[in-house]
Amino acid sequence: MKILVVGGGGREHALCWGLSRSRSVTGLLCAPGNAGIAGIARCVPIKIDEPTRLADLADAENVDLVVVGPEAPLVAGLADLLQSRGRAVFGCSKAAAELEGSKAYAKAFMARHRVPTAAFGVFSEAGEAELFIDTLCERGDRKLVVKADGLAAGKGVVICDGAEQTKLEVGKMVTDGHLGDAGRRVVIEEFLEGREASLMALVDGERVTPLAPAEDHKTIFDSDRGPMTGGMGAISPTPVLDDLSVARAVREVLEPTARGLVAEGRPFRGVLYAGLMLTREGPRVLEFNVRFGDPETQVLIPRLDEDLALLLHAVAIGELPERVRFSSRSAVCVVMAAGGYPGPSDVQPPAVISGLERAAALADVVVFHAGTRSEEGRVMTAGGRVLGVTALGDTLASARARAYQAVDTISFAGAQVRRDIGGRSYT
């Protein structure tokens, strides 16, 4: 099989890595890819927001499957375009992608289909939002969450303390346009207490096959402090989502969502990601994504006990498997981010990355590239999340120790690393 992967982050490196190990793969292309992906796939310099050029490439190379990594091209309709040209594609339609593309749509959808989620309101006018904030605070809520409606690369969510801060954040997004169009409309929701987990599932219409659960670490600093990021590290499996909880989340969240999308004429085919808060009352949806998680993919793929290419192709052609097998080992991925992340990272000059080969030579370690670039034979940082260093181990503790051993052999100026990935208390 000849495969084209669309994207150029850590998730796409993990997908390419998994595909390059699939016996069924005879050719692997990636657009645009990155310095790490270039070692295992032919990278083609086409950006993810150039759908016609991507479709032309798929045609010119006559690929058997296109795997779309990021959400933006799905929201823009890339899967529909490829399908209209007769290509098999792993990735959902534009209509189904609205579940991630608009948080306001996702919340209203959940309300319509009784998918459990936090109480909320949607506003594009600051005055109305302020009334809603006062109502929630008067009933006793202290913390509230403000979310930009549109895509904001994981940075559009602010947890606020009290009415004053909440109103301030709403003002920044809705009135001042700090996040551009993505934040002109906001969702304001109640703060949920509990443990967080990510559950992804392969979905085809009403059928749902869960993948192994994972746990992300979203804030930039240790102990879940500081601003939200796209994710600073992940583990899989996670003690917070055992087999029973997975079954419950499938029953109460993923299946009703898949059925609801079919009922609304937007059947889903691809991978659906539910970001869950596991509360005392059961799982509540924090967000839906319509693609593989990043960095969750960097811990799922190394645990996968299947031929990834056959698996993704099967989903693409409507042959959803009933079960997907994973190894019983644990995986931990620690992200190394550029200085300044999650702020505007282009203020940081590119830095040389050293120690990559030594880290990759360690047993049970894979270094996934995200924001990297090759320059005169050297690997340089290109901003954002630079690397995702994944290690496997027989236990969470051993995977974690190995991941940090690898991280400590790598260095670049300004690197930001959380030291507590996989280190939360699970008692």
Q: Does 293 bind ligand GLY (CB under 6 A)?
A: yes
Measure the CA–CA gap between 263 and 287, rounded to whole angstroms. Answer: 20
Contact 346, 339 (CB under 8 A): no
- Among 55-63, 164-172, 286-294, 399-407, the segment contacting ligand GLY (CB under 6 A): 286-294
Q: Give the residue with the Cβ less far from ligand AMP, 16 or 276.
A: 276
Give me the least distance between CB of 253 and ligand GLY, in Å please. Answer: 16
Give the span between the Cα atoms of 253 and 191, in whole angstroms: 19
Dihedral sign (CA 259, 263, 267, 272): negative
Decide if residue 18 touches ligand GLY (CB under 6 A): no
Contact between 381 and ligand GLY by CB under 6 A: the answer reads: no
CA 420/CA 219 separation, integer angstroms? 11
Q: Which stretch binds ligand GLY (CB under 6 A): 291-299, 303-311, 328-336, 415-423?
A: 291-299
Shortest CB 306 distance to ligand AMP, Å: 28
Distance of CA 210 to the CA centre of its chain: 16
Q: Smallest gap, in angstroms, from Cβ of residue 284 to ligand GLY?
A: 16
Contacts with ligand GLY by CB under 6 A: the residue count is 8
The sign of the CA dihedral 338, 344, 346, 348 is: negative
Question: What does the binding site for ligand AMP look like in residue numbers (CB under 6 A)?
Answer: 118, 145, 147, 157, 159, 189, 191-192, 196, 218, 228, 275, 277, 286-287
- The reply to whether 196 sits near ligand GLY by the rule CB under 6 A is no
**327 in Cβ contact with 287 (< 8 Å):** no
> What residue is closest to ligand AMP based on CB?
287
Alpha helices in 21-161 (DSSP H): 51-60, 71-75, 78-84, 94-101, 103-112, 126-138
Q: Residue 61 CB, nearest distance to ligand GLY (Å)?
A: 28
Give, for 13, the enclosing helix (H) or strand (E).
Answer: helix 10-20
Q: Is 80 an interacting residue with respect to ligand GLY (CB under 6 A)?
A: no
Please select the residue that binds ligand GLY; options are 64, 215, 216, 252, rule is CB under 6 A. Answer: 216
Residue choice 154, 210, 283, 371 for contact with ligand GLY (CB under 6 A):
154
Nearest approach, Cβ of 167 to ligand GLY (angstroms)? 27
Cβ–Cβ under 8 Å, residues 94 and 79: yes
* Nearest residue to 258 via CA among 246, 275, 272, 279: 272
CB of 87 closer than 8 Å to CB of 66: yes
Contact partner at residue 296 from ligand GLY, ligand AMP, none, CB < 5 to 8 Å by partner kind? ligand GLY
- Residues 231 to 270: which contact ligand GLY by CB under 6 A? 231
Closer to ligand AMP by CB, 205 or 226: give it. Answer: 226
List, as one string, the DSSP characters of 20-74. Answer: HT-TT-SEEEEEE--TTGGGTSEE----TT-HHHHHHHHHHTT-SEEEE-SHHHH
Judged by phi (left if over 0) then psi (alpha if -120 to 50, else beta), residue 384 lies in left
CA 359 to CA 366: how far, in whole Å? 8
Task: Between 10 and 260, name the residue whose CB sits nearer to ligand GLY.
Answer: 10
Query: How far apart are CB 214 and ligand GLY at their closest, in Å?
Result: 9
Sign of torsion over alpha carbons 145, 9, 14, 334? negative
Whole-angstrom Cα distance, residue 207 to residue 322? Answer: 9
What DSSP state is assigned to residue 398? Answer: H
Q: Stretches 14-22, 287-295, 309-317, 404-412: which one binds ligand GLY (CB under 6 A)?
A: 287-295
**Residue 93 C-beta: closest distance to ligand AMP, Å:** 22
289 near ligand GLY, rule: CB under 6 A:
yes
Query: Closest Cα partner for 190 from 257, 288, 249, 277?
Result: 277
CB of 89 to ligand GLY, least distance (A): 20
Residue 144 carries which DSSP code?
Answer: E
The least CB distance from residue 287 to ligand AMP, in Å, is: 3
The answer to the question of residue 294 lying near ligand GLY (CB under 6 A) is: yes
Question: From the list ligand GLY, ligand AMP, none, which binds 100 (C-beta under 5 to 8 Å, kind-based)?
Answer: none
The three-point CA angle 17-20-24 to 5° equals 140
Cβ nearer to ligand GLY, comparing 289 with 409? 289
Contact residues for ligand GLY, defined by CB under 6 A: 154, 216, 230-231, 289, 293-294, 296
